Amino acid sequence: MKTRILTLFVSTLLFQCAFAQYPLDSASTFSIELTTELCTVLPSYETAYKEVIDQEKGVRHISANGIPNHETGVFPNAGNPNTIRPQSQKYTVPLNPKIAERQTPGMGTSFGILFSGVELDPFTAEFFEGVNGTNHNWNITTLTSSVNLGLDCNNGHVQPSGKYHYHGTPNAYLEELSLDGSEMVKLGYAADGFPIYYKYGYDDQGNLIEMKSGYRLKTGERPGDGKSAPNGTYDGLYFQDYEYVEAASLLDACNGRWGKTPENEREYYYVITDNFPSSPICFSGTPSNDFRIGGGNAQRQDPRGGRGRQANGRNDKGHPGLEEMMQRADLNHDNQLSRSEVRGPLKDTFDQVDTDKNGFLSIEEMRKAGPPSGRPGRRP
């Protein structure tokens, strides 16, 4: 055991040195709980998690009731007035998932289900509120010291429906598994069927190391005017305050990678990290609609009460809305579309829609431009 721990320490040190030019962001308001001190309550209901494998159809059927198999914080609390209650959750994911042609942004979809019976859902129903209403381009993070959403030691809290869910590292669950960093441990499945592991994984040399995401805080000032969009220094309050730096991590923009796992010599898997965003925020495969927040046109619930946003970003006829299309096309998650990210008729009108002539299209510019001529109600 001492040899394994020493090997892990040396490997982790080498990994940290290799990426030393990309230090953690000291100016960020990112805040994540990494102890179990805030969790002292055993759930009032029994947990339920079940899998049924259908080899003929090549799918995995999962059912869970959202009740964790570990201790939680006290709910209701000052930042979260809700009580944990059982849910009826059923999912179907592929046994042999495939990498899709394009990454799919995770907003509007729970990222996955863990063996603890609880969903992993990084996004929130909190956005910048401007003089003209809500600006859905700027989503407030849960893991920030700037907003109190009543998170417990599992970086989780409860929706008004009673649904308990994680936004980041589930510490009490990890404690139940007795994780000590000496092995890779699978925690559950993503909505696209790929496995989810905690932060320890093998590098390309076969060393077990602590993985960290490649997201870093942007430098400079936000482009908004403080009225219709946020201004001020990028400080980590919004998801859009961060950008992915490929050279800073072994993980891709979805916190995933190809590599060795306890089950396969080489497979794609996702990683929950202790740095931003902790939970992966996009999919490399095709997510199952069973993980859509609320389903259909239901709304993500504000954990502090209220209705929140339309969960799947679609219009009242159920077709993809502008926000969802923007998220799908925005491959580098910088909240704007470059010419290379645009497809269809919009590619032909790019210069006319780009009214500020900065070489990128914002959602405001596309909204003002309206649907492309000859394709009513649609946007490529």
d(CA 241, CA 196): 25
Tell me the pairing of strands 186-190 and 112-114.
antiparallel
* Gap between the Cα atoms of 366 and 130, Å rounded: 19
Classified as helix, coil or strand, 43 is coil
DSSP reduced 3-state for 174: helix
**Structure tokens belonging to residue 317:** 């006829």
**Tokens found for residue 122:** 């990084």
Q: Is the bond preceding residue 195 a cis peptide, omega within 30 degrees?
A: no
pLDDT tens for the chain, 380 residues long, are: 333 333 333 344 434 433 433 445 557 999 999 999 999 999 999 999 999 999 999 999 999 999 999 999 999 999 999 999 999 999 999 999 999 999 999 999 999 999 999 999 999 999 999 998 999 999 999 999 999 999 999 999 999 999 999 999 999 999 999 999 999 999 999 999 999 999 999 999 999 999 999 999 999 999 999 999 999 999 999 999 999 999 999 999 999 999 999 999 999 999 999 999 999 999 999 999 999 986 532 345 666 554 344 333 434 334 456 666 666 676 655 567 888 777 777 888 888 888 878 788 887 788 778 765 443 333 33
Q: What's the full length of the chain, in residues?
A: 380
pLDDT for 151: 97
Q: Say if CB 87 and CB 63 are below 8 A apart.
A: no
For the chain, the domains span 2-291, 336-380
Instruction: State pTM to two decimals.
Output: 0.76
> Which tokens is 346 given?
């919009």
| Phi (first) and psi of residue 354, to 5 degrees | -75, 75
* HSE, side-chain direction, 13 A CA sphere, residue 321: 16
**Residue-level pLDDT at 359:** 82
The β-bridge relationship of strands 59-64 and 89-94 is antiparallel
pLDDT of residue 363: 76
* Residue 277 preceded by cis peptide, ω within 30: yes
Residue 2, φ and ψ in degrees, nearest 5: -60, -40
Predicted local distance difference test score (pLDDT) of residue 183: 96
Neighbours of 329 (CB within 10 A): 19
Q: Are strands 267-271 and 282-283 parallel, antiparallel or unpaired?
A: unpaired
d(CA 85, CA 160) in angstroms, rounded, equals 10
What six digits make up the tokens of 294? 């609320």
Structure token pair of residue 264: 């396969």
Amino acid sitting at position 38: L
Q: C-alpha angle with apex 61: 56 to 65, nearest 5 degrees?
A: 165
Write down the pLDDT at residue 36.
Answer: 97
Q: Which residues contact 276 (CB under 8 A, 6 or more apart)?
A: 28, 30, 141, 143, 213, 215, 236, 242
Question: Using CA atoms, how far apart are residues 289 and 301, in angstroms rounded to an integer?
Answer: 18
